[in-house]
Protein backbone atom coordinates (compact mmCIF):
# COMPACT_ATOMS: atom_id res chain seq x y z
CA UNK A 1 0.00 0.00 0.00
CA UNK A 2 1.40 3.42 -0.95
CA UNK A 3 1.89 5.99 1.79
CA UNK A 4 -1.01 8.23 0.72
CA UNK A 5 -3.40 5.25 0.68
CA UNK A 6 -2.17 4.12 4.08
CA UNK A 7 -2.60 7.66 5.37
CA UNK A 8 -6.19 7.83 4.14
CA UNK A 9 -7.09 4.36 5.50
CA UNK A 10 -5.78 5.11 8.99
CA UNK A 11 -7.33 8.57 9.13
CA UNK A 12 -10.69 7.21 7.95
CA UNK A 13 -10.61 4.51 10.64
CA UNK A 14 -10.60 7.15 13.38
CA UNK A 15 -13.68 8.86 11.99
CA UNK A 16 -15.47 5.55 11.37
CA UNK A 17 -15.24 4.69 15.07
CA UNK A 18 -16.67 8.09 15.99
CA UNK A 19 -19.64 7.58 13.65
CA UNK A 20 -21.24 5.52 16.43
CA UNK A 21 -21.28 8.56 18.74
CA UNK A 22 -24.07 11.07 19.20
CA UNK A 23 -23.11 14.71 18.81
CA UNK A 24 -23.42 15.23 22.59
CA UNK A 25 -20.75 12.58 23.20
CA UNK A 26 -17.94 14.34 21.36
CA UNK A 27 -17.14 17.00 23.98
CA UNK A 28 -17.44 14.97 27.18
CA UNK A 29 -14.41 14.60 29.47
CA UNK A 30 -15.36 12.48 32.47
CA UNK A 31 -11.95 12.54 34.14
CA UNK A 32 -8.64 14.31 33.57
CA UNK A 33 -6.79 11.37 31.99
CA UNK A 34 -9.56 10.61 29.45
CA UNK A 35 -9.86 13.15 26.64
CA UNK A 36 -13.04 14.00 24.71
CA UNK A 37 -13.48 12.29 21.31
CA UNK A 38 -13.49 15.64 19.57
CA UNK A 39 -10.11 16.49 21.09
CA UNK A 40 -8.62 13.21 19.79
CA UNK A 41 -9.93 14.01 16.31
CA UNK A 42 -8.34 17.45 16.45
CA UNK A 43 -5.05 16.53 18.14
CA UNK A 44 -4.17 13.79 15.64
CA UNK A 45 -4.85 16.34 12.89
CA UNK A 46 -2.75 18.96 14.66
CA UNK A 47 0.18 16.50 14.61
CA UNK A 48 0.28 16.40 10.80
CA UNK A 49 -0.35 20.11 10.43
CA UNK A 50 2.34 21.06 12.96
CA UNK A 51 5.13 18.64 12.11
CA UNK A 52 4.57 18.19 8.36
CA UNK A 53 2.51 20.86 6.63
CA UNK A 54 3.81 23.92 8.49
CA UNK A 55 7.40 22.78 8.17
CA UNK A 56 7.54 21.42 4.62
CA UNK A 57 4.73 22.99 2.54
CA UNK A 58 5.67 26.56 1.69
CA UNK A 59 2.20 27.74 0.66
CA UNK A 60 0.26 25.96 3.43
CA UNK A 61 -2.35 28.10 5.19
CA UNK A 62 -3.26 27.40 8.82
CA UNK A 63 -6.83 26.30 9.27
CA UNK A 64 -7.12 28.27 12.51
CA UNK A 65 -4.29 30.02 14.35
CA UNK A 66 -5.81 29.13 17.75
CA UNK A 67 -5.67 25.38 17.13
CA UNK A 68 -1.99 25.03 18.03
CA UNK A 69 -2.85 26.20 21.55
CA UNK A 70 -6.08 24.21 21.80
CA UNK A 71 -4.85 20.85 20.48
CA UNK A 72 -1.19 20.57 21.41
CA UNK A 73 -0.98 17.79 24.01
CA UNK A 74 2.34 17.84 25.88
CA UNK A 75 4.90 19.15 23.38
CA UNK A 76 6.51 22.11 25.17
CA UNK A 77 8.69 22.81 22.14
CA UNK A 78 5.53 23.35 20.06
CA UNK A 79 4.25 26.19 22.26
CA UNK A 80 1.66 26.80 24.97
CA UNK A 81 -1.33 24.50 25.36
CA UNK A 82 -4.62 24.02 27.15
CA UNK A 83 -4.37 22.13 30.43
CA UNK A 84 -5.33 18.48 29.99
CA UNK A 85 -8.05 18.80 32.61
CA UNK A 86 -9.67 21.58 30.55
CA UNK A 87 -10.04 19.67 27.27
CA UNK A 88 -13.67 18.97 28.06
CA UNK A 89 -14.47 22.65 28.66
CA UNK A 90 -14.30 23.57 24.98
CA UNK A 91 -17.80 23.55 23.54
CA UNK A 92 -16.24 25.54 20.72
CA UNK A 93 -14.80 24.89 18.20
CA UNK A 94 -17.72 22.66 17.33
CA UNK A 95 -17.41 19.02 16.31
CA UNK A 96 -18.37 19.96 12.75
CA UNK A 97 -15.57 22.51 12.71
CA UNK A 98 -13.11 19.85 13.91
CA UNK A 99 -14.22 17.51 11.13
CA UNK A 100 -13.79 20.38 8.66
CA UNK A 101 -10.27 20.85 10.09
CA UNK A 102 -9.50 17.18 9.44
CA UNK A 103 -10.66 17.47 5.84
CA UNK A 104 -8.58 20.61 5.33
CA UNK A 105 -5.41 18.95 6.62
CA UNK A 106 -6.09 15.66 4.86
CA UNK A 107 -6.47 17.33 1.48
CA UNK A 108 -3.15 19.09 1.92
CA UNK A 109 -1.46 15.94 3.20
CA UNK A 110 -2.66 13.77 0.31
CA UNK A 111 -1.39 16.33 -2.21
CA UNK A 112 1.93 16.50 -0.39
CA UNK A 113 2.35 12.72 -0.05
CA UNK A 114 1.77 12.08 -3.76
CA UNK A 115 5.22 13.49 -4.58
CA UNK A 116 7.07 12.83 -1.31
CA UNK A 117 10.45 11.09 -1.59
CA UNK A 118 12.42 12.59 1.32
CA UNK A 119 13.03 9.75 3.81
CA UNK A 120 13.30 12.09 6.79
CA UNK A 121 9.84 13.50 6.12
CA UNK A 122 8.41 10.07 5.31
CA UNK A 123 9.63 8.87 8.70
CA UNK A 124 7.75 11.71 10.43
CA UNK A 125 4.58 10.86 8.48
CA UNK A 126 4.89 7.21 9.53
CA UNK A 127 5.39 8.33 13.13
CA UNK A 128 2.25 10.44 12.79
CA UNK A 129 0.26 7.46 11.51
CA UNK A 130 1.42 5.34 14.43
CA UNK A 131 0.55 8.23 16.73
CA UNK A 132 -2.95 8.25 15.20
CA UNK A 133 -3.27 4.51 15.84
CA UNK A 134 -2.34 5.06 19.47
CA UNK A 135 -5.13 7.60 19.69
CA UNK A 136 -7.56 5.20 18.04
CA UNK A 137 -7.06 2.89 21.01
CA UNK A 138 -7.28 5.81 23.42
CA UNK A 139 -10.53 6.83 21.74
CA UNK A 140 -11.97 3.39 22.47
CA UNK A 141 -10.82 3.37 26.08
CA UNK A 142 -11.87 6.97 26.71
CA UNK A 143 -15.32 6.45 25.19
CA UNK A 144 -15.72 3.30 27.27
CA UNK A 145 -14.79 5.24 30.40
CA UNK A 146 -17.36 7.90 29.50
CA UNK A 147 -20.15 5.41 28.79
CA UNK A 148 -19.13 3.10 31.63
CA UNK A 149 -19.63 5.96 34.10
CA UNK A 150 -23.00 6.91 32.67
CA UNK A 151 -25.65 5.61 35.12
CA UNK A 152 -27.72 4.03 32.32
CA UNK A 153 -24.69 2.20 30.80
CA UNK A 154 -25.52 3.09 27.17
CA UNK A 155 -24.68 0.73 24.33
CA UNK A 156 -22.02 2.21 22.07
CA UNK A 157 -22.33 -0.59 19.53
CA UNK A 158 -23.68 -4.08 20.15
CA UNK A 159 -20.72 -5.54 18.22
CA UNK A 160 -18.11 -3.74 20.36
CA UNK A 161 -17.80 -6.09 23.32
CA UNK A 162 -13.99 -6.37 23.06
CA UNK A 163 -13.70 -8.20 26.41
CA UNK A 164 -15.08 -11.61 25.45
CA UNK A 165 -11.79 -13.22 24.34
CA UNK A 166 -10.89 -16.52 26.01
CA UNK A 167 -7.54 -18.27 26.23
CA UNK A 168 -6.78 -20.68 23.38
CA UNK A 169 -3.89 -22.33 25.22
CA UNK A 170 -3.08 -23.51 28.74
CA UNK A 171 -0.18 -24.73 30.83
CA UNK A 172 3.25 -23.15 31.02
CA UNK A 173 6.73 -23.52 29.58
CA UNK A 174 10.29 -22.97 30.75
CA UNK A 175 12.95 -20.63 29.45
CA UNK A 176 16.54 -21.56 30.22
CA UNK A 177 18.95 -19.24 31.96
CA UNK A 178 21.24 -17.41 29.61
CA UNK A 179 22.28 -14.25 27.82
CA UNK A 180 19.60 -12.92 25.46
CA UNK A 181 19.33 -10.05 22.97
CA UNK A 182 16.44 -7.60 23.39
CA UNK A 183 15.29 -4.52 21.49
CA UNK A 184 14.02 -3.83 17.99
CA UNK A 185 16.19 -5.41 15.28
CA UNK A 186 14.02 -5.14 12.12
CA UNK A 187 13.90 -2.48 9.41
CA UNK A 188 10.32 -1.23 9.70
CA UNK A 189 8.88 1.36 12.06
CA UNK A 190 9.45 1.30 15.80
CA UNK A 191 9.45 3.90 18.55
CA UNK A 192 12.73 5.31 19.83
CA UNK A 193 12.24 3.62 23.21
CA UNK A 194 12.59 0.20 21.53
CA UNK A 195 16.00 1.03 20.09
CA UNK A 196 19.30 0.30 21.78
CA UNK A 197 19.59 -3.43 21.12
CA UNK A 198 21.44 -4.97 24.03
CA UNK A 199 22.12 -8.15 25.96
CA UNK A 200 20.38 -9.14 29.19
CA UNK A 201 21.06 -12.10 31.41
CA UNK A 202 17.96 -13.98 32.53
CA UNK A 203 17.73 -16.61 35.21
CA UNK A 204 15.68 -19.67 34.29
CA UNK A 205 11.93 -19.05 34.61
CA UNK A 206 8.59 -20.66 33.84
CA UNK A 207 5.88 -18.52 32.24
CA UNK A 208 2.17 -19.17 31.82
CA UNK A 209 0.88 -19.94 28.35
CA UNK A 210 -2.37 -18.14 29.16
CA UNK A 211 -3.65 -14.94 30.70
CA UNK A 212 -5.55 -14.78 33.99
CA UNK A 213 -9.33 -15.13 33.53
CA UNK A 214 -12.25 -13.38 35.21
CA UNK A 215 -13.06 -16.59 37.05
CA UNK A 216 -9.57 -16.87 38.50
CA UNK A 217 -9.63 -13.25 39.59
CA UNK A 218 -13.06 -13.72 41.12
CA UNK A 219 -11.54 -16.40 43.35
CA UNK A 220 -8.96 -13.84 44.48
CA UNK A 221 -11.73 -11.37 45.28
CA UNK A 222 -13.85 -13.92 47.15
CA UNK A 223 -10.88 -15.04 49.23
CA UNK A 224 -10.51 -11.49 50.56
CA UNK A 225 -7.77 -10.38 48.21
CA UNK A 226 -8.77 -6.72 48.37
CA UNK A 227 -8.75 -6.71 52.17
CA UNK A 228 -5.45 -8.54 52.85
CA UNK A 229 -2.71 -5.94 53.16
CA UNK A 230 -0.07 -8.69 53.06
CA UNK A 231 -0.68 -9.08 49.33
CA UNK A 232 -0.27 -5.45 48.38
CA UNK A 233 2.60 -3.09 47.72
CA UNK A 234 2.41 -0.14 50.08
CA UNK A 235 1.40 2.29 47.30
CA UNK A 236 -1.18 -0.22 46.12
CA UNK A 237 -2.65 -0.68 49.59
CA UNK A 238 -3.00 3.09 49.90
CA UNK A 239 -4.70 3.19 46.49
CA UNK A 240 -7.17 0.43 47.48
CA UNK A 241 -8.17 2.16 50.70
CA UNK A 242 -8.24 5.73 49.44
CA UNK A 243 -10.47 4.75 46.51
CA UNK A 244 -12.49 1.99 48.27
CA UNK A 245 -11.67 -0.60 45.59
CA UNK A 246 -13.05 -4.15 45.73
CA UNK A 247 -13.24 -5.22 42.07
CA UNK A 248 -11.82 -4.48 38.61
CA UNK A 249 -12.92 -1.37 36.77
CA UNK A 250 -16.46 -1.56 35.31
CA UNK A 251 -17.55 -4.45 37.58
CA UNK A 252 -20.89 -4.02 39.38
CA UNK A 253 -22.60 -6.44 41.72
CA UNK A 254 -26.31 -6.55 40.84
CA UNK A 255 -28.73 -8.92 42.61
CA UNK A 256 -25.73 -10.71 44.12
CA UNK A 257 -24.18 -11.39 40.71
CA UNK A 258 -21.24 -9.66 39.08
CA UNK A 259 -21.78 -7.72 35.85
CA UNK A 260 -19.37 -5.59 33.85
CA UNK A 261 -19.78 -2.78 31.40
CA UNK A 262 -18.72 -3.45 27.81
CA UNK A 263 -19.15 -1.14 24.85
CA UNK A 264 -21.93 -3.54 23.92
CA UNK A 265 -23.70 -2.67 27.18
CA UNK A 266 -23.86 -4.09 30.71
CA UNK A 267 -23.42 -7.87 30.73
CA UNK A 268 -22.86 -10.67 33.21
CA UNK A 269 -19.18 -11.31 33.89
CA UNK A 270 -17.97 -14.22 31.74
CA UNK A 271 -15.79 -16.29 34.05
CA UNK A 272 -14.00 -17.90 31.12
CA UNK A 273 -13.07 -14.63 29.45
CA UNK A 274 -9.66 -13.05 29.97
CA UNK A 275 -9.49 -10.55 32.83
CA UNK A 276 -9.32 -6.90 31.83
CA UNK A 277 -9.07 -3.37 33.26
CA UNK A 278 -6.82 -3.97 36.26
CA UNK A 279 -3.83 -1.86 37.25
CA UNK A 280 -0.28 -2.82 38.18
CA UNK A 281 -1.11 -2.89 41.89
CA UNK A 282 -3.95 -5.35 41.33
CA UNK A 283 -1.84 -7.47 39.01
CA UNK A 284 0.97 -7.62 41.53
CA UNK A 285 -1.38 -8.47 44.42
CA UNK A 286 -2.98 -11.28 42.43
CA UNK A 287 0.46 -12.68 41.57
CA UNK A 288 1.38 -12.56 45.26
CA UNK A 289 -1.83 -14.39 46.15
CA UNK A 290 -0.99 -17.09 43.60
CA UNK A 291 2.55 -17.46 44.93
CA UNK A 292 3.90 -16.29 41.58
CA UNK A 293 5.05 -13.01 40.06
CA UNK A 294 4.77 -10.79 37.00
CA UNK A 295 7.38 -11.22 34.26
CA UNK A 296 9.99 -8.58 33.61
CA UNK A 297 9.66 -6.92 30.24
CA UNK A 298 12.74 -8.80 29.04
CA UNK A 299 11.39 -12.18 30.12
CA UNK A 300 8.17 -11.33 28.29
CA UNK A 301 9.99 -10.36 25.08
CA UNK A 302 12.18 -13.47 25.03
CA UNK A 303 9.22 -15.81 25.68
CA UNK A 304 6.66 -14.02 23.46
CA UNK A 305 7.27 -16.14 20.38
CA UNK A 306 6.08 -19.22 22.29
CA UNK A 307 2.68 -17.97 23.52
CA UNK A 308 -0.45 -16.29 22.16
CA UNK A 309 -0.47 -12.55 22.86
CA UNK A 310 -2.35 -9.48 21.68
CA UNK A 311 -5.68 -9.63 23.53
CA UNK A 312 -4.58 -7.59 26.58
CA UNK A 313 -1.77 -5.23 27.40
CA UNK A 314 0.21 -7.28 29.89
CA UNK A 315 1.69 -5.70 33.01
CA UNK A 316 5.35 -6.43 33.61
CA UNK A 317 7.41 -5.92 36.73
CA UNK A 318 9.74 -3.51 34.91
CA UNK A 319 9.95 0.22 35.42
CA UNK A 320 9.88 2.28 32.24
CA UNK A 321 13.51 3.27 31.76
CA UNK A 322 15.76 4.06 28.76
CA UNK A 323 17.67 1.30 27.00
CA UNK A 324 21.47 1.64 26.74
CA UNK A 325 22.48 4.40 24.31
CA UNK A 326 18.94 5.77 24.15
CA UNK A 327 18.98 9.02 22.17
CA UNK A 328 16.21 11.61 22.09
CA UNK A 329 15.40 13.57 18.96
CA UNK A 330 15.97 17.31 19.12
CA UNK A 331 12.90 19.49 19.39
CA UNK A 332 9.27 18.56 19.98
CA UNK A 333 9.44 15.02 18.59
CA UNK A 334 12.08 14.24 21.21
CA UNK A 335 9.34 14.66 23.82
CA UNK A 336 7.35 11.72 22.44
CA UNK A 337 8.66 9.03 24.81
CA UNK A 338 11.83 9.97 26.64
CA UNK A 339 10.48 12.52 29.08
CA UNK A 340 7.99 10.02 30.50
CA UNK A 341 10.66 7.64 31.78
CA UNK A 342 9.74 8.17 35.42
CA UNK A 343 7.11 6.59 37.71
CA UNK A 344 5.70 4.38 34.94
CA UNK A 345 5.55 0.59 34.52
CA UNK A 346 6.02 -1.21 31.20
CA UNK A 347 3.25 -3.19 29.54
CA UNK A 348 3.92 -5.55 26.64
CA UNK A 349 1.85 -7.01 23.83
CA UNK A 350 -1.30 -5.36 22.48
CA UNK A 351 -5.03 -5.53 23.17
CA UNK A 352 -8.37 -6.21 21.51
CA UNK A 353 -8.60 -2.42 21.13
CA UNK A 354 -5.21 -2.01 19.44
CA UNK A 355 -5.31 -0.97 15.80
CA UNK A 356 -4.36 -3.50 13.12
CA UNK A 357 -0.62 -3.68 12.37
CA UNK A 358 0.23 -1.63 15.44
CA UNK A 359 1.89 -4.27 17.60
CA UNK A 360 5.21 -6.12 17.78
CA UNK A 361 7.08 -8.08 20.48
CA UNK A 362 9.43 -5.18 21.25
CA UNK A 363 6.66 -2.56 21.72
CA UNK A 364 7.07 -0.86 25.13
CA UNK A 365 3.78 0.60 26.32
CA UNK A 366 3.79 2.40 29.67
CA UNK A 367 1.30 3.72 32.19
CA UNK A 368 1.13 4.82 35.80
CA UNK A 369 0.78 1.83 38.14
CA UNK A 370 -2.62 3.07 39.37
CA UNK A 371 -4.21 3.37 35.89
CA UNK A 372 -6.61 0.70 34.69
CA UNK A 373 -8.87 2.21 32.02
CA UNK A 374 -6.70 0.60 29.34
CA UNK A 375 -7.29 -2.99 28.17
CA UNK A 376 -4.84 -4.52 30.63
CA UNK A 377 -4.38 -8.08 31.87
CA UNK A 378 -2.07 -10.48 33.73
CA UNK A 379 0.36 -13.21 32.71
CA UNK A 380 2.21 -14.98 35.54
CA UNK A 381 5.71 -16.33 36.00
CA UNK A 382 7.36 -18.61 38.51
User: What pLDDT, in 10s, does the model give residues 7-30?
Assistant: 999 999 999 999 999 999 999 999
How would residue 195 be classed by pLDDT, with cut points 50, 70 and 90? Answer: very high
Q: What is the pLDDT of residues 299-325, one digit of tens each?
A: 999 999 999 999 999 999 999 999 998
Above pLDDT 90, what percent of the chain?
91
- CB within 8 A of 137, min separation 6: which ones? 351, 353, 354, 355, 358, 374, 375
For residue 80, the tally of other CB atoms under 10 A from its CB is 8
Give mean pLDDT, residues 108-119: 95
DSSP secondary structure code for residue 314 in this structure: E
Are the C-beta atoms of 379 and 211 separated by less than 8 Å? Answer: yes
pLDDT value, residue 330: 83
Distance CA 151, CA 172 (A): 41
pLDDT value, residue 333: 85
Taking the alpha carbons of 251, 257, 262, 265 in that order, is the dihedral positive or negative? negative
Distance CA 144, CA 158 (A): 13
DSSP secondary structure code for residue 353 in this structure: T
Q: What is the pLDDT of residues 168-188, one digit of tens each?
A: 999 999 999 999 999 999 999
Are the C-beta atoms of 123 and 56 separated by less than 8 Å? Answer: no
Tell whether the model's pLDDT for residue 335 goes beyond 80. no
How would residue 76 be classed by pLDDT, with cut points 50, 70 and 90? Answer: confident
pLDDT value, residue 332: 78
Give mean pLDDT, residues 123-132: 97
Above pLDDT 70, what percent of the chain?
100
pLDDT, the chain, mean: 96
pLDDT value, residue 78: 84
Tell whether the model's pLDDT for residue 275 goes beyond 80. yes
Tell whether the model's pLDDT for residue 118 goes beyond 80. yes
Are the C-beta atoms of 220 and 228 separated by less than 8 Å? Answer: no
How would residue 131 be classed by pLDDT, with cut points 50, 70 and 90? Answer: very high
pLDDT value, residue 192: 95
Distance CA 282, CA 44 (A): 32
Nearest to 166 by CA among 262, 270, 242, 305: 270
- The residues that bridge with 259 in the sheet, in sequence order, are 252, 268
pLDDT value, residue 108: 97
pLDDT value, residue 244: 98
Tell whether the model's pLDDT for residue 1 goes beyond 80. no
pLDDT value, residue 334: 81
Beta strands in 46-188 (DSSP E): 172-175, 178-182
pLDDT value, residue 77: 86
pLDDT value, residue 338: 84
How would residue 327 be classed by pLDDT, with cut points 50, 70 and 90? Answer: confident
Amino acid sequence: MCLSSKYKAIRDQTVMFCNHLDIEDYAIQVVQFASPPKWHLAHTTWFFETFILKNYVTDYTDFNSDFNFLFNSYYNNAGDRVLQSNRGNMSRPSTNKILEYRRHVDESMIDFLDNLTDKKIIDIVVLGLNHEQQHQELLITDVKYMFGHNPIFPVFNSKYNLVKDANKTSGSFKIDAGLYTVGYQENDFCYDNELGVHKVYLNAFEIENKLVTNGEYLEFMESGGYSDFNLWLDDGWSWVNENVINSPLYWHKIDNEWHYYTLGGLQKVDKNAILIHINFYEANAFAEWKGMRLPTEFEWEIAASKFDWGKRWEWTNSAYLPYPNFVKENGALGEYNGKFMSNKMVLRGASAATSTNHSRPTYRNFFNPSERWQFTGIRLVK
